[in-house]
Each structure stands twice: as structure tokens, then as C-alpha cells.
Amino acid sequence: MLLSLNLDKRKEYVISVSGGVDSMVLLDVLYHKKYKLIVVHFNHLVRPNSFQDKNIIQEYCRNKNIIFHYFELNIRGKNFHHQARILRLEKLKKIASKYKTKYLITAHHLDDLSETIFLKILRGSSLLGYSGMKNFCFYNDFILLKPFLYIEKKKIIEYAEKNKIYFLEDYTNKQNIYLRNQLRNQIIPFFKQKYNFLKNIKKFHFQIDEVSNFIRNQTFLFLKEQNIENILSLKKFYHLDIVVQKDIIIYLLEQKKINKNFFLINSIIKGLNNIKKAFIIWKLDQKNILVKQYDHFCIKNQNLEKYENQILKEKKPLLHCSKKKMLISFCSIIQKIYYDENNFFPPFFLRKRKSGDILKFSFGTQKLKNFFINKKVILPQRDNIWLVLDQKKNIIWIPKFYVNHMLGNEYFCYLGLE
């Protein structure tokens, strides 16, 4: 039987075998092609006769001198298939690490691919998701292989009958208690009878895969061009097609294992492209937020409440003034201020910004609001910045942003914040 992948026979492969016809045939094909195999079997403890699967696989491996591992998975609650898949992959990764290999093999075939595409369409997905699954993909530090992905189930059954491969069918696959089973047993058989269904599914898969690969490569190119890791340029982002923009957001969510919500993605794209709003925060999940700040955006690993508190609730510092710098050396930030006697109106005091605040420069005056906009200071930060004023309510100093150089140059003093 032809495989959809040309595998390196020098490597070791961890293969998941259920005991059903698909995985037993794949195991037999790979064995006779002389691949180095490590077999892993999972018992989901759903069927009373599930231990028979173990006996069949273990007997096959014993006769062929193949390494065999067995795990029991006790899964409770909703979304059984999703939980089972996550647990299986984690166990496969551990076994692969034990044998110092990165290759994981499953027996998914063309009929499985058709079911997955149907599920993606019914539930909604990204363009990349609509292609179904790939016969070769990276999974963290591992490579997940599906050598049967473009082979029809009936071909696998024919091989099993011809070569007398012993297997057990999971009778729960015939029970229409899950949506996937309903597709497998009721809907897809109808399309198989009427149309050249699986052939067209394969064509659809390849076409979507080609397009999504091109888009994903544009995403990688954009990310590679960023000067600072994890801080992404909006200027470059604006020049991209919206399809690539969406894939960038999808990829970032995938990397953080965040649910790719259609409405959330559209909201982010709309907000990032809104040049009138320089600062926006999106809550992605309980642990992550996406922040737009003027000319860039990034995902921060903290919850929304903590981020807002960090910005908005800073303790008021103590202001110190001295002729000698050493006397206020304990301050976290110190500024030298020059002045003439007729422009010096202590004591100085601290307050937050107010509407109508003005800054003085050699070229004239500027509204504090416009100054912050030009400096790309986001709105929540503006409300948290302390201003140092004199008794005439002139702004003398804004730590890290502004010093009033219009007071003269005859004398000087030091201001410090503790």
C-alpha cells in the first residue's frame, strides 16, 4: 500500500494504535516496510471489551518484536473527543521523548479528513482550519505524521482482508451520540453514493491548504520583520491585506492556546485598523490581553484587571527640593532645574493633569494634551503621570517627559521624587 509520506527508515516512530482496522493496517504496512516502531495503545475505558484491543495489539507486537506501551485514560465531562485527543498527544510526546525521537504517527485517513472538514464547516473555523488536517505538521517540538491521510477507508479494509489482519471495531463508532459519528454514519455515506465525494474532498483540501500556506507564510514574513520580539508594528500591519492581518491574529492566539473566536478576531482587526483610537485593550482569556498602543500592538501575559490597576493605581510619590543633589540622592528620579529669581515660586507640589494645562517652550506654548499625543503616551498613562507645579501653577517638570527651560539660568536647584 502506498503511503502519502516518504519516511526516513533510520528514524524511530511512535505510532498510536487503537486496535481498529485503520491503525492495525498502518502498523502492519510500516512493519513490512521495515520502519523502526514504538507502539502506544490507549484504553479510554468506555467499552467493557476494550481490554481485548490491548491483547490483540500486544500479541502482534510480541510476535514482531516491537516495543509496546499501554495507557488507560479516564475521561469525564463534556467534549470527550477533544479531551481524549489532548491526553493522547501528551502521552505520545512523553514516549517520544523517552526514546529520543520527535516523530508521532496516527492512522487518520481520507474518510477522517472528510469528517473533520465537515465539522469545521459546521462549527466555523479559520481558512487554515477548513483544510482539515495535514499529513505532516509540527506539534510543539514534535512532528505529527499521518501516512494514510489520502487513502480511502475501503482501501484499508481491502488490505486487512487480503492480508488477514486481525482487528476489533469499536462498536461505539456506530452509535450516533456524537456529531462526528452522525456525519460518519448518516451524512457522509449519502454524499459518497451521489457524488465523487472523497476525490473532491481531497481536491478541496489541497486547494485550501495551498492558499492557507501562502497566507501563513506572509504571516511568518511579517513576524520575522519585526524589530522587537512580541511587539508588532502597526505601520507595517496596515499595509497587509486583511486576510493576512486576520491570520496574524489567529497565529498569535494559536501560540498562546487561546480560543480563536470569530467575533473577537473581527473586533481586534477593526480596532487595530481604527486610526482614531490610539489605545485599546482586548481581553483574550483569563490570563492574556491584547493591547494596541499608538504605533504597535502586543499580547501581554496578564489579566485585564491587573493591567488596568497597574496603569491607573500608582501611589503618589513624595516631592523633594534641594540646592544640593546629594541631599536628595535617595530619590528614584532627580532633575536639575535652572531659574531666575523673578521666575521662582516655591513651594512646588504634585498633581495629575487637568484640562487646559499648558507647557512652555522657546517656540511658544503647547497644550499638554497635544504634547502627550505627540509623545505617543496612551490615555490611561496620561491620567497616571505626576506633574510638578509652582505656586503660580506653572508646570515645572514632568518626570521622564518634560522640563521647563523658560525659567531662566541664573540659579539652579534639584527636584526629586521618592
Q: Which regions of the chain carry the CATH code 3.30.465.60? A: 225-312
User: Which of 92-96, 107-111, 290-294, 303-307 has the least mean pLDDT?
Assistant: 303-307
Between 171 and 175, where is the model more confident?
175
Least confident of 20-29, 170-179, 285-294: 170-179
Dihedral class, residue 257 (left if φ above 0, else alpha if ψ from -120 to 50, else beta): left
Q: Range(s) for CATH 3.40.50.620 in the chain?
A: 12-196
The predicted model scores a pTM of 0.69
Is the domain 12-196 a CATH 3.40.50.620 member? yes
As given in the structure block, the three cell numbers for residue 75 are 475521561
pLDDT of amino acid 140: 81
For domain 225-312, give its CATH number from 3.40.50.300, 3.40.1350.10, 3.30.1130.10, 3.30.465.60.
3.30.465.60
Residue 309 scores a pLDDT above 70: no
Mean pLDDT on 302-323: 72
Q: Which residues are annotated as a binding site?
A: 18-23
Assess whether pLDDT exceeds 80 at residue 54. Answer: yes
Q: What pLDDT is attached to residue 305?
A: 60
pLDDT band at 242 (very low <50, low <70, confident <90, very high): very high
Q: Give the least confident one: 245-254, 257-266, 348-357.
A: 257-266
pLDDT of 176 > 80? The answer is no
Q: What was the pLDDT predicted at 308?
A: 58
Annotated binding-site residue numbers for ATP: 18-23
Percent of the chain with pLDDT over 90: 61
pLDDT, residue 314, reads: 61
